[in-house]
Amino acid sequence: MAKTDKSEQRSEPLQAAWRAIEAGDVVAARRLAEAALLAPASPAAAAEARDVLKRTDVAWPVLVYGAFALGLILALVLLAVVRSAHA
């Protein structure tokens, strides 16, 4: 019995979503995965679409820490400017 490739079992939107991920287009990959999730061909296809959405989700803690670091840097620059103006 011949093995079937996993990519052959995927629906067209899921194949396109994985190609978009490999190309670096996260927005298109999420859009295609959401379309595949609206009308899944099978429970496995729905699980794979959820996997694509999970892999391309925004890492919110990283953005929060980055915003905090940016605020801290801006406060330090402002402090340096204020102290240098009064010297």
* Interval 26-42: pLDDT, tens: 999 999 999 888 887 88
Taking the C-alpha atoms of residue 73 and residue 87, their distance in angstroms, rounded to an integer, is 21
Question: What three-state secondary structure class fits 5?
Answer: coil
pLDDT band for position 83 (cuts 50, 70, 90): very high
Threshold 0.95, pTM exceeds: no
Comparison of pLDDT for 39 and 75, the residue scoring more: 75
pLDDT above 90 as % of the chain? 54
Question: What is the number of alpha carbons within 13 Å of residue 76 lying toward its C-beta?
Answer: 6
The domain spans of the chain are 1-56, 58-87
